């Protein structure tokens, strides 16, 4: 049986990449791991697992568009059916996002739509909110605003600091990202308009999570 080809983009540590590799999903084949940083820790783990790696340094390109075009060419060599952003710290142009419409997903460390953007754990602690979590979502032009596929919630404890909270959220990220990819590979996940369906059932994600 032909495996479902995916490409994973990273910029750093790569713990989500590791979780996806370690899940050993028999349905998927990781065709390549691409990083915009040569020092990204995840590259080594990919190599150790005999996965092709590529580095495309954004600093070698004059504009965002030029980088995105080169990235697109690099990705398309592998003909993936899904592009998985796993800690890829570059904002992607509308052209790029539209090219991969409905086939590009991201993981974000908050219960979207709350806490878009950076430093989510710090901001959650400052806001004294009691629930936090992670979301896997389809990528759209607007940052962290695409339709949510799956979320996981974690409690925030009064003695938490950024590290303890990040670790608790990360544990959940490592569970829900392989799950979302598996659904995708099974063909059970569909995006119609702004609505995500699993087996033709609408995935309900609360608008407000606290
Ligand atoms: C994760 O917290 C993810 O949600 C965010 O960036 C971080 C990447 O971590 N987008 P890692 O490189 O997968 O360890």
Mind spelling out the 3-state secondary structure of 74-105? HHHCCCCCEEEECCCCCCCCHHHHHHCCCCEE
Q: Which residues contact 117 (CB under 8 A, 6 or more apart)?
A: 143, 144
Q: Report all structural domains of the chain as residue ranges with CATH numbers, in order of start.
A: 1-100 (3.40.50.170), 106-210 (3.40.50.170)
Asked if residue 133 has its Cβ within 6 Å of ligand 1, the reply is no
Q: What is the pLDDT of residues 12-40, one digit of tens each?
A: 999 999 999 999 999 999 999 999 999 99
Asked if residue 12 has its Cβ within 6 Å of ligand 1, the reply is yes
Nearest CA to ligand 1 atom 5: 87
The predicted model gives 137-164 an average pLDDT of 96
Q: How confident is the model at residue 204 (pLDDT cuts 50, 70, 90)?
A: confident
pLDDT at 210 over 50: no
Lookup result for tokens 């806490």: 115
Q: How confident is the model at residue 206 (pLDDT cuts 50, 70, 90)?
A: low
pTM, 2 dp: 0.96
Q: What is the pLDDT of residues 78-103, one digit of tens each?
A: 999 999 999 999 999 999 999 999 99
| Residue 30 near residue 121 (C-beta atoms within 8 A) | no
pLDDT at 198 over 50: yes
Pocket test for ligand 1, best of 11, 39, 40, 86 (most atoms within 8 A of CB): 86
Cis omega (within 30 of 0) on the bond before 56?
A: no
Which among 111, 72, 126 has a CA at the least distance from the CA of 209?
111
pLDDT at 207 over 60: no
The predicted model gives 111-120 an average pLDDT of 97
Q: What is the pLDDT, as a whole number, of residue 209?
A: 41
Nearest CA to ligand 1 atom 14: 15
Q: What is the pLDDT of residues 159-169, one digit of tens each?
A: 999 999 999 99
- Pick the catalytic residue from 99, 108, 137, 182: 108
Cα–Cα distance for residue pair 131/124, rounded to 1 Å: 9
Asked if residue 11 has its Cβ within 6 Å of ligand 1, the reply is no
Cα–Cα distance for residue pair 137/104, rounded to 1 Å: 9
Cα–Cα distance for residue pair 199/210, rounded to 1 Å: 28
Cα–Cα distance for residue pair 111/210, rounded to 1 Å: 9
**Average pLDDT of every residue of the chain:** 96
Q: In 68-91, which positions are buried (b, 16+ CB within 10 angstroms) versus exposed (e)?
A: bbebbebbeebebebbbbbbbebe
Active site annotation includes 108: yes
């Amino acid at each position: 049986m032909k495996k479902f080809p995916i490409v994973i983009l990273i910029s750093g540590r790569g713990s989500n990449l590791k979780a996806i590799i370690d899940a050993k999903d028999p349905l998927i084949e990781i065709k390549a791991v691409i990083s915009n940083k040569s020092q990204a820790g995840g590259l080594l783990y990919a190599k150790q697992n005999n996965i092709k790696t590529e580095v495309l340094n954004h600093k070698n390109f004059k504009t965002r568009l030029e980088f995105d075009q080169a990235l697109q060419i690099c990705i398309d060599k592998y003909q993936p059916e899904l592009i998985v952003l796993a800690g890829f710290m570059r904002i992607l142009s509308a052209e790029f996002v539209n090219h991969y419409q409905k086939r590009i997903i991201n993981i974000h460390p908050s219960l979207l739509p709350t806490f878009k953007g950076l430093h989510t754990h710090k901001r959650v602690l400052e806001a004294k909110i009691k629930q936090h979590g992670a979301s896997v979502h389809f990528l759209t032009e607007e940052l962290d605003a695409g339709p949510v596929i799956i979320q996981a919630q974690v409690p925030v404890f009064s003695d938490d600091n950024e590290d303890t909270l990040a670790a608790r959220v990360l544990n959940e990220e490592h569970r829900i990202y392989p799950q979302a990819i598996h659904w995708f590979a099974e063909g059970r996940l569909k995006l119609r308009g702004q609505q995500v369906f699993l087996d033709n059932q609408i995935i309900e994600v609360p608008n407000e999570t606290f």
